[in-house]
Structure 1
Amino acid sequence: MRFMMIVKATQDSEEGIMPSQELVDAMMKYNEELVKAGVMLAAEGLHASSGGIRISYPEPGGKPQIMDGPFTESKELIAGFTLIEVNSREEAIEWAMRMPDPHGRGEGVIELREVIETPELTSNPDSLALHAQLRDLGRPKS
């Protein structure tokens, strides 16, 4: 089972204020624990939405529209994510509970969401085989 730990944005992260060295060190230690446990797939921080681009589809079959950031609804924005692969929802919650406060000032919010696996979307053997092939191509070579 794959889960994404989504770190919600704050006013500071949207203003581009970088975390303290102490928080960076704590997050690096946490990430090292995830790697040693063999559950980390990816972990990244994101720049503020002021440099972001939003593409929306306002009507079915219509042309997509592009809007440059910043985006005003900061409570709905994300500042980073960690993607893990674990054996259960409970294990994902345990890992999320161990993450240091992602903003370091008591403002951190982590949203934990399970990733939809391809067999949940389709049982078509061709689609499943193509997905497996693409996933393997996207994985870093050891």
Structure 2
Amino acid sequence: MRFMLMVKATGYYEAGIDGGKELYAARAAFQDHMRAAGILQSSEELLPSASGIRVVFPPGGEAPAMLPGPFSPEQEWIAAYTVIDVETEEDALKWALRMPLPPGQGEHIVEVRRLASTVADTALDARTKALSADLQDHLSLLNS
């Protein structure tokens, strides 16, 4: 199952105050650990919302509006995300609890959300099930 770990931005992050070299080293080590475990699919940091553009699609088919950042805090900024492929939601939560975050910058939130299955995921599941069934058949023949 694929999960996205979303690190919510803080006012410090939006102001361009980073966690320093130690935090970047801890994040790199964390990503290396996930890569070694074979679960890391992608991991990126976003620029503050001041560099973004929000496209708002009103109801009724009207033309979309384009709003430049920065965006208000109520919109729950996202500072970074990591996509992992793990067996269970519990596994995803265990990785989220290990996420390096900057010290001394108030409360931090890491949101864990399962990604919707894609055609590729479904095809992989089908191949895995077929290989498993084939292996079971072979084992049955060997045990006979």
TM norm structure 1: 0.78
Provide Cα deviations, 1:84-118, integer angstroms capped at 9, x if missing partner: 011111110111111122x3325321000000113
Contact 1:8 1:75 in 2 (8 A): no
> What are structure 1's unaligned runs of at least 5 residues?
119-127, 133-142
Which residue does 1:121 correspond to in 2? none
Provide Cα deviations, 1:8-53, integer angstroms capped at 9, x if missing partner: 0101110112221011111111111000000000111111000101
Cα distance change on mapping 1:74 and 1:12 into 2, 3 Å:
farther
- Name the SS for the 2:36 alignment partner: helix
Q: Percent identity?
A: 40
Aligned residues: 121
TM norm structure 2: 0.77
Between structure 1 and structure 2, the one with the greater Rg is: 2
Q: Are 1:104 and 2:130 an aligned pair?
A: no
> What are structure 2's unaligned runs of at least 5 residues?
124-144
Counterpart Cα distance in 1 of 2:29 and 2:84 = 16
Aligned alpha-carbon RMSD (Å): 1.9
